[in-house]
Amino acid sequence: MDLHQKTMIGIDLGGTSIKFGLISSEGKILRKSKLKTPLSKDFQEIVELITKEVHRILLEEKLPKNEISGIGIGIPGVTNAKGEVVFANNLFWKNKPLQSSLEQRLGIRVKVGNDASLAGFGEFHFGAMRNTQNALLLTLGTGLGAGVIINGKVFHGSHYLGTEIGHMIIGENFYNCNCGNNGCLETFASATALVKYVAHLMEAGESSILKQEEGNQQKNITSQQIFDAARNHDKVAIKALDRFIRYLAMGIANLINIFDPEVIALGGGLSESGDLFLEDLRIIAKTHTYVKEENPTEIVIAELKNDAGILGSGMFVLED
């Protein structure tokens, strides 16, 4: 079968939802669906749910199994070369045989990878990283994930433990990361980091329009509220945003020094407010790179948004 005739199913498996996409190798999404991840996070229950949804897609699209090149699945955690989920904190999984379990039930080839890595593969094929050979996607959300593409292929590391860029130690922080370390990049450059730092400043007595109280209970603040406050020139929000930019720029400079990529794309929910920080981020990142006079790495906003995961997972099936 010619490459341009191939059809794949891409699955983006998250802690709250499971997204499915029937896609062509030309990047067309032929069908999309979305299911809630069971609250139990039970492995067998999720495997059965995926199995039923794949069968439903094939039946309703009148597609025989032999016309599907395979199924790619991105999971929020660490996988290995056998397609096993070594651990996925949001799913409470450890050492789960996801690939083999689905292949036995479906009779279709399955490949499993890290969700941010596969989202990066989607951007590489069809988004902000297309027409490159070496590029990175940083997903700026609750944490900081990354997809690294080297010589046109998804980079996993020798033991499938690489690309944990969010856990690069970047400096000392006032709180520890969920991984147990102190100073991880994602504790400076994520939605969680922004919210925690704003709360930290307000607890120290700094005045902000974000300081809304009901009795003695401060309401939960979101990263979007912080961005909105920064647009309204709130000093605490601007201070938090400046800190976010400064540390993210350091992390990006390190990545430029190590990988020399053609493009670094920024995805995830925070990237939607990129108009507030992208230009400053570009300027500050370049001041930290080793070669300052000539560094052509582009820093851009990712393009595919929520479709990156299913597109990249589908294309992962075709990777050698």
Q: Give tens-digit pLDDT for 256-308.
A: 999 999 999 999 999 999 999 999 999 999 999 998 877 799 999 999 999 99
At residue 220, the pLDDT reads 82
Please tell me whether residues 236 and 211 are part of one structural domain.
Answer: yes
Structure confidence by residue, pLDDT tens digits, 10-59: 999 999 999 999 999 999 999 999 999 999 999 999 999 999 999 999 99
Residue 2 is predicted with a pLDDT of 42
pLDDT at 153 > cutoff 90: yes
Are 293 and 311 in the same domain?
A: no
Q: Indicate if 14 and 94 belong to the same structural domain.
A: yes
Phi-psi region of 196 (alpha: psi -120 to 50; beta: other; left: phi over 0): alpha
Q: At 304, list the tokens.
A: 């595919």
* Total-model pTM: 0.94
Instruction: Give per-residue pLDDT as tens, 4-17.
Output: 458 999 999 999 99
Residue type, 272: E
**215 pLDDT exceeds 60?**
no
Predicted confidence at residue 49, as pLDDT, reads 98
Question: What's the pLDDT at 133?
Answer: 98
Q: Specify the pLDDT at position 214.
A: 36
172 and 28 within one domain: no
- Report the CATH number that the domain containing residue 24 is assigned in CATH: 3.30.420.40
Phi, psi for 34 (deg, rounded to 5): -150, 135
Q: Please tell me whether residues 143 and 262 are part of one structural domain.
A: yes
| 66-85 core/surface letters (b: 16 or more CB in 10 A; e: else) | eebbbbbbbbbbbbeeebbb
Q: Would you say the C-alpha torsion 119, 125, 126, 130 has a positive or negative sign? A: positive
Report CA torsion sign: 253, 254, 258, 261: negative
Number of structural domains (the chain) is: 2
Confidence grade of residue 218 (pLDDT, cut at 50, 70, 90)? low
pLDDT of 137-148, one tens digit each?
999 999 999 999
299 with 312, same domain: the answer is no
**Would you say 8 and 69 are in contact if contact means Cβ atoms under 8 Å apart?**
yes
User: 246 and 112, same structural domain?
Assistant: no
Same domain as 178, residue 118: no
106 shares a domain with 173: no
Strand-pair category, 135-140 with 263-267: parallel
Encoded tokens for 175: 């709180």
What pLDDT does 212 receive? 67
Q: Do residue 231 and residue 299 come from a single domain?
A: yes
Looking at the chain, the number of H-run helices and the number of E-run strands are 8, 15
pLDDT at position 219 is 61
222-to-13, 103, 188, 237 alpha-carbon distances in Å: 24, 40, 15, 11
DSSP assignment of 43-61: HHHHHHHHHHHHHHHHHHT
On whether both 91 and 218 belong to a single domain, the answer is no
Q: Which residues contact 283 (CB under 8 A, 6 or more apart)?
A: none
pLDDT of residue 1: 36
pLDDT at residue 320, as a whole number: 75
Q: What residue numbers bound the domain in which 207 lies?
A: 131-303
Model confidence at 166: pLDDT above 70: yes
146 and 207 housed in the same domain: yes
Q: What does the pLDDT look like over 61-120, one tens digit per residue? A: 999 999 999 999 999 999 999 999 999 988 999 999 999 999 999 999 999 999 999 999
What is the average per-residue pLDDT within 208-217? 62
